[in-house]
Structure 1
Amino acid sequence: MKDIPIAKITRADVVVWHTAIESQFPDTTTNANGYNRLRAAFSEALERDLIEANPVLTREAGTAVAKEKELPTDEEIATIVEQFPAQLKLEAVLCLHHGLRIGEMLALRREGVTIIRENGTAEVHVNATLQRVVNSETRKTEMLRVEGPKTVAGRRTVPIFLHAGRRVHRAHGHPC
C-alpha cells in the first residue's frame, strides 16, 4: 500500500494488506494495533477532506484474539511446590493453589489469616498488596504496603483447601 496515493486506496487494498500481515506475523495484538493505527490515520484524512471515504472499516480486524492459556495440572503444581525450600512452600501454595497474587501474598499479616479450629480449615483475608516503587529522593526501589485493593473484587476471603494445607504442614515436618 505504500506506493498507492492515499486517495486511491480501496477496501480491497486494505484487506489484502491485512491478510498479508496476519499470515506473515502471527502476533495478533501487534497486528490489531497496526490496523487500529491505520484506521485512525484514515479517519484523520477523512476529517481533513483528503479522502472521500475511510477504506479501513472492519472493526473486527482491530481486535486482538486472546491466546488460550494452558494452566498447570494439580500434579504439575505439586511438583513445582516440591522444588521450593521448606520456608517458602506456604507462599507457593497460596499463589499456585489459591490464586493469590504475589503482592497480596507478600502483604499478608497474621491478622489476615483465620483458622477455624472446629473443622481444621483456614481463610486468608486479602485486603492489601505490596508494590515495588522507586523512592523519588534516593532513586532506590522500595516495597510499599498498600491498604485496600484497586477494585472491589480484589478485597476477598480465600478459603484454604484442606489438601493444600496438609501438603504445607507435611513440608514443614508436621503430621496431618
Structure 2
Amino acid sequence: MARRGENIYHRKDGRWEGRYIIGRKQNGKPRFGYVYGRQYIEVKRTLTILKAKAAKNPAPVLEAYRNGTLEAWVDYWLEAMTKPYVDISTYRIYKSQAEKHIIPRIGGLQVGEIRQDDVQDFVNEIKKGLAPSMVHNVCRLLKSIFVAARDKNLIGEIPFGKVRKPQNKVKRPRVLACSEQLRLERDVAQTGELEYIVCLYAGLRLGEVCALRWEDIDFEEKMLYVNHTLKRVPCKEGGAKTKLILDTPKTENSRREMPIPAFLAWQLKEKMARENGRETDFVFQSPRGGCLDPRTLQERLKKKFKKLKVRGAHFHTLRHTFATRCLEKRIGIETLSELLGHSTPQITIQYYAHCTRENKIKSIRRLNRIAC
C-alpha cells in the first residue's frame, strides 16, 4: 500500500485505510482499529476524532503496556504521544536514536522492571562507540520516555537518579575573525550575494534565510520577521528520496522579530527594487525561480571560504559570528538569546560562555590603580 500521513494507506481497491492503536495483545504487539473511506481527507478527519476520544480515556490502551516491553512502550510514545506534537525532522531524529541505540540494547526489558543499574549498564555500553554529546542526547530521549511512562502511572520512579554519563564538553564554536569577516563582506559586495550579509547581521539559521520572503521584512521599522524555515524531509511517495518543504520554525522561540541595521535594510530594499519586474516571493531565489535550496547555499559558501582561504568554517559559522559580535558590543545574554531564537538563555550561555569570559577579562585589565 502507498502510504500518506500518519498511519493512513492507499489501498489497491482505491480506498484509503487509516488505523489507530486500541490496545495490546498478550505478546505486547499493538491491536489496531481501522477506518476506511474513498477520500484521504475523510479518513484523516475520522481518525483524528477517534484518536482524540482514545486520548481522553487512555486507560484501557495504556494498561496493556504496564507489563509490556520497553520496545512496545517506545513505539506507542513515538507514534501516539510525540509524532502529532513535534515537527517531522524532530520525530525522525527521536525514532532513529531509539531504533539504533535504545531498542537493540534494552528494548526487550519489561518497562516496570528496569532499574537504575540497567540504565547505567546501557550508558556504559553506548559510550564506547558514541561521542559524549550523542550519549547525552540518547539519555535525554530515554529519560523523556520514562517520564511519560511515570506520568501514565506505568512505572513508579524514573530509573535515572544517579546514572553517571561521560562529561559532555561543549566545543567552542568557530567564529570568523574580524579580518576574515571583512574579506567575506568585500567579496559578497562584488557578487551581490546578500544572503550571507543577512546571516552575519541578523543571525538567521540556514533554513530561515532560505525561507525569507519579502512580506517578512518591514522596511520602515527596519524589522525582519522569522516566520518560516525551509527544510528537506524524506519523501513518502514517488522516486525522489527527499523534498523541500516550507515549515514553521522548530520552537515558538524560533519564531521571532529581528531588528536589522539600517545599511542592511537599505540593501534589501535596493534588491527588492531591482527585482520588482520579476515574479518573486522569496528574497533569495534559485536561478529557475522559487526558493533557494539550502544545500546550494551551503555549497556556494564552502567554495567561497576555500577561495578566501578561510579554514574550518561552515554556514553556521555566520550565525556564531553574529552572536560573538553582539557580545563584543555588550549586548546582554538574555537579549541575545531572544535574537537567536534560543528556548532559554542557558543554551546561549552554554555556547558562548567563552565570549563573556573574555569580555570580563578585557574589562578588568582596563582597570587602573587609583593614585594615592
> What's the TM-score, normalizing by structure 1?
0.53
8 A contact 1:135–1:142 mirrored in 2: yes
8 A contact 2:219–2:265 mirrored in 1: no
User: What is the identity percentage for the equivalent residue pairs of Structure 1 and Structure 2?
Assistant: 27
Find out whether 1:138 has 2:242 as its counterpart.
Answer: no
Give the structure 2 partner of residue 93 of structure 1: 197
CA displacement, residues 102-147 of structure 1 (integer Å, 9 cap, x when unaligned): 111111111100011xxxx62110000001123232224321111x
Shift in Å, 1:164: 4.5
Matches within 5 A, 1:52-131: 59=164, 62-84=166-188, 86-88=191-193, 90-116=194-220, 122-131=222-231
8 A contact 1:28–1:65 mirrored in 2: no
Shift in Å, 1:83: 2.6
Give the structure 2 partner of residue 42 of structure 1: none
Find out whether 1:152 has 2:252 as its counterpart.
Answer: yes
User: Given residue 143 of structure 1, which amino acid in structure 2 is its aligned partner?
Assistant: L
CA displacement, residues 138-157 of structure 1 (integer Å, 9 cap, x when unaligned): 224321111x2221110111
Give the Cα separation in 1 of the matches to 2:207 and 2:163: 40
Give the Cα separation in 1 of the matches to 2:171 and 2:243: 34
Give the structure 2 partner of residue 29 of structure 1: 132
Counterpart of 2:176 in 1: which secondary structure? coil
Shift in Å, 1:86: 2.9
Give the Cα separation in 2 of the matches to 1:162 and 1:73: 23
Counterpart of 1:97 in 2: which secondary structure? helix
Give the Cα separation in 2 of the matches to 1:96 and 1:132: 23
Greater relative CO (CA pairs within 8 A, separation 6+): 1
- Normalized per residue, which structure has more helix? 2
Structure 1: give runs of 5+ residues left out of the alignment.
1-26, 38-56
Give the Cα separation in 2 of the matches to 1:135 and 1:87: 34
